[in-house]
C-alpha cells in the first residue's frame, strides 16, 4: 500500500462561479458522498483540510513575497487529502470520482515518499 | 461523518434569509454587497462542510459567516473608496455605520424576510419583475433558474432582475411593516405570490421539478404572511388555502412517466391529505372578514374539488356558481374558459361548447393551448370526431412543453380510435380545467 496526496485544484478564472444556491448544495452533497465513500472503503488516510484563498508566496530567499496563494500556476488549491492505494493507477482511478472534476477542477495525485 | 442537511432546499432558503437580514443591517443601497457576501459564504460552506461535516447549527454558522464576510467586504469597499474620494462623498451621507449595527442587532429573521418580500413588490417595479425579484432574493434562485422557470432568455431575465434591483436599492430602506401603505403593498405581495404559484402550477417550463419548486416557494412565503398578524388578512388566508388545496393535487397530476393527468382521471388517493387539511383550515380562517376576494372564490373551487370523493360526485353547479362570482369580480377569458368546462360537466357538452364560443375576448386565448383543447374534448363528447381532431391538433401546435404535448397526443390517439369502425369506447371526460390567471 502506498499513500498519495490529492490536491484539489480549481482554475482561478473558473467560469463556474457564482453558482446558484441549489447548485452549491448539490456540490456539497457530492463532496460529502465522495468522502464518505473513501472512508467506507478504508482508503482515506488523512481527511485533510479545505484551504482559504489568499495567503502569500515567499520566494527568492525571502526577498520576494507575493500576495495570493499561487506562484505561477493559474489555479488555486482548494484543499488536500491523503489517500491510500495499491499503486498510482489505483490512486488515479479513485481520483476519477472526485466531485471537483464535475465543475472544471482537477485532482493532482502525488505519491508520498516513504522514508 | 456528516449529518445530512435538513432538505434539498436548505441552501436556497438560507440564501433568502441571509440576503434579507444583511440587507436590513447594511441598508438597501448595499443590496449587491449583501448578495456577494451571501454567495461567498455559501461557497465557503460547501468546502468547509465537505471536509469537516455540518456544524451543529448550520443556519447560525451561515449567519455568522455571512456577517463577517459582509463586514470585510465593506472594509475593502471603504479602502477602495479612500482612493476615489468623489465616490466617497456621494455615498458617505447615507452610510450609517453598518459595522456597529451588524455587531449588535439580534437576527429577527422572519421579519427580515417579510420586509424584503414587501420591498420587492415596490409599485415602481413591474409585476413580472416583482415575481422574479422575489424568487431571486428570497427564493435563492439564480437568474438562470428563474429564466428557465419562466421560459425567458437568460439575458432578458438578468436585465429584468437587475433593473428591479436598481429600483429597490434606490429606495430609502427595506419596507417598514408598520408603514401607512402597508395594505396597498400587501395586495401587491399577495398578487406576486399568486402569480408565482400559478407559474409553478400551470407554467410553461418543461421541468416539472422546477415548477414544483416554484409552488413550494410560494407556499413557504405565503405561510410567512399567515404567521405575521397584520399580514394575515382574510385574503391572505384565502390565498394560502387555494395554494395548499391546489398543491395537494400535484402528486396525482403528473404520473410516474411525467405525463399530465386531468382532474377527472386523477387517482384521488394520491392527493396530499395533509395539505388538504391545512388548506381547509386556512379557508376557514379566511371567512372571518366581510370581503370576499378572488382568492376566496378560487380557494372555494379548489376545496369543492378536494372534498368530492370522486370526479362524478363533484357538485358542478356549485363550481359554476363560484366561477360566475369570480367572473363578476375579475372578468377574464381564462376564467370564462374554466366556467364553460364546468358548465359542460353540469349541463352537457353542447352547453359547454356554446359557452366556450361566446367567451368575450376569446381572441386573447389565441395562444393558449387549453382553449382549443377544451373545444376538442367537448366536440369529441358530442361525437363529432373530425371537429374534435381539428381543435386538438391546433392545441397540440400551441403546447408549451412536452407534458402538454404528450397529453394532447394521447387525446388525438383517442380520436383515431373513435374513427376506427366498430370499436365503441367509453366517453372521455374533458381536459382538467386550467386555473385562471
Dump pLDDT digits (tens) for B232-241: 999 999 999 9
Across residues B348-364, what is the average pLDDT?
91
Chain B positions touching A48 (Cβ under 8 A) are: 51
Burial bucket for residue B404 (CB in 10 Å: 0-12, 13-18, 19+): buried
What cell was used for B334?
381564462
Q: What is the pLDDT of residue B185?
A: 93
| R_g (Cα) of chain B, nearest Å | 25
Give the HSE-up count for residue B421: Cα atoms under 13 Å, Cβ half-sphere: 0
Q: How far is A61 from chain B (nearest CA, A)?
A: 31
CB contact under 8 A, A24 and B43: yes
Q: Chain-wide mean pLDDT for chain B?
A: 85
Q: What is the pLDDT of residue B193?
A: 94
| Closest Cβ opposite residue A50 in set B11, B42, B47 | B47
CB contact under 8 A, A39 and B141: no
The torsion region of residue B353 among left (phi > 0), alpha (psi -120 to 50) and beta comes to alpha
CB contact under 8 A, B50 and A35: yes
Residues 6+ apart with CB under 8 A from A49: A79, A80, B51
Are B236 and B244 in contact, with CB atoms under 8 Å apart? no
Residue B305 has pLDDT above 90, yes or no: yes
Are B125 and B134 in contact, with CB atoms under 8 Å apart? no
| Closest Cβ opposite residue A25 in set B8, B48, B141 | B8
B10, closest residue in chain A (CA to CA): A25
Please check whether residue B14 touches A, CB under 8 A: yes
CB contact under 8 A, B50 and A25: no
What cell was used for A43?
482508503
> How many A×B Cβ pairs under 8 Å?
72
CB contact under 8 A, A47 and B51: yes
Dihedral (Cα; B285, B288, B289, B292), 10-degree rounding: 60
The alpha carbon dihedral of B50, B51, B57, B62 has a sign of negative
φ and ψ of B185, to 5 deg: -70, -35
Residue A110 has pLDDT above 60, yes or no: yes
Q: How far is A17 from chain B (nearest CA, A)?
A: 9
Distance CA B144, CA A103 (A): 17
Chain A positions touching B52 (Cβ under 8 A) are: 50
Distance CA B44, CA B33 (A): 16
Residue B83: pLDDT band with limits 50, 70, 90: low
What cell was used for B176?
417598514
| Closest Cβ opposite residue A25 in set B1, B10, B141 | B10
Residue B92 has pLDDT above 50, yes or no: no
**Element holding B337 (H helix, E strand):** helix B333-347
Q: What is the pLDDT of residue B45?
A: 92
Chain B positions touching A78 (Cβ under 8 A) are: 47
Are B211 and B151 in contact, with CB atoms under 8 Å apart? no
Residue B87 has pLDDT above 80, yes or no: no
Residues of A engaging B, defined by a Cβ cutoff of 8 Å = 17-25, 27-29, 31-32, 35-36, 39, 47-50, 78-79
| Closest Cβ opposite residue B46 in set A24, A47, A49 | A24
Q: What is the pLDDT of residue A70?
A: 61
A35-39, B73-77, B120-124, B196-200: which has the highest mean pLDDT? B120-124
Q: pTM for the full model? A: 0.80
| Closest Cβ opposite residue A35 in set B1, B9, B45 | B1
- Range from A85-94, B206-215, B221-230, B269-278 carrying the lowest mean pLDDT: B206-215
B213, closest residue in chain A (CA to CA): A22
| Closest Cβ opposite residue A28 in set B15, B39, B46 | B46
Residue B426: pLDDT band with limits 50, 70, 90: low
Are B105 and B20 in contact, with CB atoms under 8 Å apart? no
Neighbour tally for B196: CB within 10 Å:
26
| Closest Cβ opposite residue A24 in set B1, B9, B42 | B42
Better-predicted residue by pLDDT, B229 or B82: B229
Q: What is the pLDDT of residue A60?
A: 78
Q: What is the pLDDT of residue B186?
A: 95
Q: What is the pLDDT of residue A59?
A: 78
> Residues B183-221: pLDDT tens digits?
999 999 999 999 999 888 887 777 777 788 889 999 999
- Percentage of chain B exceeding pLDDT 70: 88
Residue B369 has pLDDT above 80, yes or no: yes
Please check whether residue B2 touches A, CB under 8 A: yes
Distance CA B378, CA B351 (A): 10
A15-29, A82-96, B91-105, B391-405: which has the highest mean pLDDT? A82-96
Say how far residue B25 (Cα) sits from the centre of its chain: 28
Where helices occur in B53-142 by DSSP H, the ranges are 58-82, 85-92, 98-104, 109-120, 127-133
Compute CA distances B250 → B150, B228, B263, B308, B429, whole Å. 19, 27, 10, 16, 19
- Range from A9-13, B246-250, B366-370, B419-423 carrying the lowest mean pLDDT: B419-423
Residue B91 has pLDDT above 50, yes or no: no
Q: What is the pLDDT of residue B187?
A: 94
Tell me how many degrees the CA angle B431-B433-B437 measures, rounded to the nearest 5: 140
Residue A83 has pLDDT above 50, yes or no: yes
Across residues A81-104, what is the average pLDDT?
93
Residue B103: pLDDT band with limits 50, 70, 90: very low
CB contact under 8 A, B14 and A21: yes
The alpha carbon dihedral of B101, B103, B107, B108 has a sign of negative
CB contact under 8 A, A50 and B145: no
Amino acid at each position: 500500500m502506498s499513500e498519495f496526496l490529492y490536491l484539489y485544484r480549481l482554475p482561478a478564472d473558473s467560469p463556474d462561479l457564482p453558482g446558484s444556491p441549489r447548485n452549491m448544495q448539490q456540490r456539497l452533497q457530492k463532496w460529502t458522498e465522495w468522502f464518505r465513500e473513501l472512508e467506507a472503503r478504508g482508503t482515506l488516510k488523512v481527511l485533510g483540510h479545505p484551504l482559504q484563498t489568499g495567503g502569500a508566496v515567499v520566494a527568492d530567499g525571502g526577498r520576494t513575497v507575493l500576495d495570493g496563494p499561487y506562484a505561477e500556476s493559474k489555479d488555486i488549491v482548494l484543499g488536500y487529502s491523503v489517500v491510500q492505494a495499491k499503486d498510482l493507477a489505483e490512486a488515479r482511478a479513485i481520483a476519477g470520482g472526485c466531485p471537483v472534476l464535475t465543475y472544471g477542477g482537477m485532482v493532482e495525485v502525488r505519491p508520498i515518499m516513504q522514508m | 461523518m456528516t449529518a445530512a442537511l435538513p432538505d434539498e432546499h436548505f441552501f436556497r432558503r438560507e440564501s433568502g434569509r441571509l440576503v434579507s437580514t444583511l440587507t436590513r443591517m447594511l441598508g438597501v443601497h448595499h443590496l449587491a454587497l449583501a448578495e456577494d457576501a451571501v454567495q461567498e459564504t455559501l461557497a465557503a460552506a460547501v468546502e468547509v462542510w465537505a471536509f469537516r461535516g455540518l456544524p451543529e447549527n448550520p443556519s447560525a454558522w451561515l449567519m455568522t459567516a455571512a456577517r463577517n464576510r459582509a463586514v470585510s467586504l465593506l472594509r475593502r469597499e471603504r479602502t477602495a473608496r479612500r482612493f476615489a474620494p468623489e465616490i466617497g462623498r456621494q455615498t458617505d451621507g447615507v452610510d450609517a455605520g453598518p459595522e456597529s449595527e451588524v455587531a449588535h442587532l439580534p437576527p429577527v429573521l422572519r421579519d427580515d424576510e417579510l420586509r424584503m418580500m414587501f420591498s420587492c413588490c415596490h409599485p415602481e417595479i413591474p409585476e413580472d419583475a416583482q415575481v422574479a425579484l422575489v424568487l431571486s432574493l428570497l427564493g435563492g434562485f439564480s437568474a438562470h433558474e428563474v429564466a428557465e422557470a419562466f421560459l425567458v432568455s437568460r439575458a432578458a431575465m438578468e436585465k429584468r432582475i437587475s433593473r428591479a434591483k436598481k429600483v429597490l436599492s434606490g429606495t430609502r430602506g427595506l419596507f417598514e411593516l408598520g408603514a401607512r401603505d402597508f395594505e396597498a403593498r400587501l395586495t401587491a405581495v399577495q398578487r406576486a405570490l399568486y402569480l408565482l404559484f400559478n407559474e409553478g402550477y400551470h407554467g410553461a417550463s418543461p421541468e416539472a421539478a422546477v415548477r414544483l419548486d416554484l409552488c413550494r416557494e410560494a407556499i413557504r412565503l405565503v405561510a410567512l404572511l399567515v404567521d405575521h398578524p397584520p399580514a394575515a388578512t382574510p385574503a391572505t388566508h384565502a390565498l394560502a388555502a387555494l395554494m395548499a388545496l391546489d398543491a395537494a393535487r400535484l402528486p396525482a397530476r403528473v404520473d410516474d412517466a411525467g405525463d399530465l393527468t386531468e382532474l377527472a382521471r386523477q387517482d384521488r388517493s394520491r392527493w396530499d391529505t395533509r395539505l388538504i387539511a391545512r388548506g381547509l383550515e386556512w379557508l376557514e380562517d379566511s371567512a372571518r372578514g366581510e370581503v370576499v376576494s378572488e382568492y376566496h372564490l378560487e380557494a372555494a373551487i379548489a376545496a369543492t374539488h378536494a372534498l368530492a370523493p370522486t370526479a362524478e360526485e363533484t357538485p358542478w353547479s356549485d363550481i359554476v356558481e363560484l366561477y360566475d362570482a369570480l367572473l363578476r369580480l375579475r372578468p377574464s377569458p381564462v376564467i370564462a374558459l374554466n366556467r364553460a368546462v364546468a358548465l359542460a360537466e353540469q349541463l352537457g357538452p353542447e352547453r359547454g361548447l356554446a359557452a366556450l364560443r361566446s367567451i368575450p375576448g376569446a381572441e386573447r386565448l389565441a395562444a393558449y393551448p387549453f382553449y382549443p383543447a377544451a373545444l376538442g374534448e367537448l366536440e369529441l363528447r358530442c361525437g363529432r370526431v373530425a371537429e374534435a381532431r381539428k381543435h386538438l391538433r391546433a392545441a397540440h401546435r400551441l403546447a408549451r412543453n412536452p407534458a402538454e404535448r404528450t397529453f394532447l397526443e394521447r387525446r388525438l390517439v383517442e380520436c383515431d380510435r373513435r374513427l376506427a369502425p366498430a370499436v365503441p369506447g367509453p366517453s372521455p371526460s374533458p381536459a382538467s380545467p386550467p386555473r385562471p390567471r
